[in-house]
Amino acid sequence: MRGKTQEAKRFLHPDVGSLALTYQAFDVRDAPAKQLVIYHAEPGSDRRR
């Protein structure tokens, strides 16, 4: 059984500071012990360049 497949997480990036990202994890069919994890910012969140 896998853990959560979607959740919000906070990261502290050394150049841009605090980031609030949501992740979603997907099982990889050809590699049962592996997952693909995608992190993304919520729509409308603060952008920094």
Residue 3 has a pLDDT of: 56
Residue 4 has a pLDDT of: 63
Residue 20 has a pLDDT of: 86
Question: Residues in the chain, how many?
Answer: 49
What residue spans define the domains of the chain? 6-40
pLDDT tens for each residue of 1-49: 455 677 888 888 898 888 889 999 888 889 888 889 999 887 777 765 5
Residue 38 has a pLDDT of: 92
Alpha-carbon distance of 11 to 18, in angstroms, equals 6
